[in-house]
Amino acid sequence: MKRLLIILALFLVPVQARAADLSSMGLCKITYYCPCESCSGPYQDKTATGTRCEEGRTVAVDPDVIAYGTKLLIDGKVYIAEDCGPGVKGDHIDIYLDDHERTERLGVRYTNVWIIRGGEWDE
Ligand SMILES: [Zn+2]
Give the pLDDT score at 120: 65
Whether residue 58 is predicted with pLDDT greater than 60 in this model: the reply is yes
Q: Lowest-confidence range among 6-20, 79-93, 96-110?
A: 6-20
Distance CA 3, CA 45 (A): 50
Domains identified in the chain, total number: 1
Determine the residue type at 46.
K
Ligand 1 centroid to Cα of residue 48, in Å, is 17
Ligand 1 centroid to Cα of residue 98, in Å, is 8
Give the pLDDT score at 117: 86
Range of the domain at 81: 2-118
Ligand 1 centroid to Cα of residue 73, in Å, is 23
Nearest to 83 by CA among 42, 45, 121: 45
Query: Count of residues for the chain?
Result: 123
Instruction: Tell me, yes or no, whether 18 lies in a domain.
Output: yes
Ligand 1 centroid to Cα of residue 57, in Å, is 17
Give the pLDDT score at 5: 57
Instruction: Tell me, yes or no, whether 7 lies in a domain.
Output: yes
Ligand 1 centroid to Cα of residue 9, in Å, is 46
Ligand 1 centroid to Cα of residue 12, in Å, is 42
Check which CATH number belongs to the domain holding 21 and give it: 2.40.40.10
Whether residue 16 is predicted with pLDDT greater than 90 in this model: the reply is no
Whether residue 14 is predicted with pLDDT greater than 70 in this model: the reply is no
Ligand 1 centroid to Cα of residue 95, in Å, is 11
Segment 72-94 shows an average pLDDT of: 97
97 or 120, which is more confident?
97
Instruction: Tell me, yes or no, whether 91 lies in a domain.
Output: yes
Instruction: Tell me, yes or no, whether 31 lies in a domain.
Output: yes
Whether residue 33 is predicted with pLDDT greater than 60 in this model: the reply is yes
Instruction: Tell me, yes or no, whether 21 lies in a domain.
Output: yes
- What is the rounded average pLDDT for all residues in the chain? 88
Instruction: Tell me, yes or no, whether 27 lies in a domain.
Output: yes
Give the pLDDT score at 11: 57
Ligand 1 centroid to Cα of residue 40, in Å, is 7
Instruction: Tell me, yes or no, whether 123 lies in a domain.
Output: no
Ligand 1 centroid to Cα of residue 83, in Å, is 15
Whether residue 8 is predicted with pLDDT greater than 90 in this model: the reply is no
